[in-house]
Amino acid sequence: MRKMNDFGRNMLKMSDFGRNMRKMNDFGRNMLKMNDFGRNMLKMNDFGRNMRKMNDFGRNMRKMNDFGRNMLKMND
């Protein structure tokens, strides 16, 4: 009977182990979400890089504008 009792106690421990495994699984699922978050952050980084290019584009447009103004002066 005592052995059966120990066996039962071990089965309960196994049950706790199973519960913890489920928590681990949730943890894994959250890690995957974090991974998606990381991927989105990288996209944001690309977005930032593109914004910088846009800024250069704006600067070039300003130069073009100066060029146009100079062309008008030339015309005068």
- Reported as a single tens digit per residue, the pLDDT across 17-55 is 888 888 888 888 888 888 888 888 888 888 888 888 888
Q: What is the pLDDT of residue 19?
A: 83
CA–CA separation, 73 vs 71, rounded Å? 5
CB atoms within 10 A of CB 41: 9
Whether 1 has a pLDDT exceeding 70, the answer reads no
CA–CA separation, 52 vs 1, rounded Å? 76
CA–CA separation, 33 vs 35, rounded Å? 5
Q: How many helices (H) and strands (E) does the chain have?
A: 1, 0
